[in-house]
Amino acid sequence: MESLLVPTAIVALAEIGDKTQLLALILAARFRKPWPIIAGIIAATLANHAAAGAVGAWVSSFFSESVLHWILAASFTATALWTLVPDKMDDDESSNARRFGPFVTTLIAFFLAEIGDKTQVATVMLAAQYPHLIMVIIGTTLGMLIANVPVVLAGNFAAEKLPLTLIRRLAATAFFVLAVVAVYSAMKTSGWIG
């Protein structure tokens, strides 16, 4: 269950105020059809996070357990710092959307917006850390849905009322906690502590 619940919580927090959440707002305002947009978010996230999770599981096979924990600690720390920086929506990610319709536009836009995004990086790290790849992918996808579906359904009202700075700080704290756990695990597997 930890392979499901931790990724769900981490990604849900990290996604608040992220550019894909801003993209969800734009798509909801433009199309006013929430269900095709939500379906597009699910499909894009599953595809993107499955690829990221596979990379994380593959990379983890190249390192010893202690080296992997040190890499994870550094990665979680970097992601925590990255989470503190607010995202902005790029103009080119929302252009020419009408001609494809809400589902295809959302699918393409979300998939592309997630490439190199902090939630994709988190998925790689979480897949390297937890043994159940499918549960990690489901968890990160659920986290994306927890953060984005209310935005799609409620539109601008929800995003304007959320304390984004506090939420970014909570997400960064969660990543720092994961970094500390990874450092502890690295020290333990390296034999530095008993």
What pLDDT is attached to residue 106? 92
Is the pLDDT confidence value at 94 over 50? no
Whether the CB-CB separation of 144 and 50 falls below 8 Å is answered with no
| Residues contacting 194, CB < 8 A, separation 6+ | 188
Is the pLDDT confidence value at 61 over 70? yes
Q: pLDDT tens, 27-54? A: 887 888 899 999 999 999 999 999 999 9
Q: What percent of the chain has pLDDT over 70?
A: 87
DSSP per-residue codes, 15-31:
HTT-HHHHHHHHHHHHH
Whether the CB-CB separation of 53 and 123 falls below 8 Å is answered with yes
What pLDDT is attached to residue 89? 52
Is the pLDDT confidence value at 88 over 80? no
What pLDDT is attached to residue 140? 95
Instruction: Let me know how long the chain is.
Output: 194
Mean pLDDT on 62-81: 81
Is the pLDDT confidence value at 169 over 90? no
Summary mean pLDDT of the chain = 83
pTM over 0.75: no
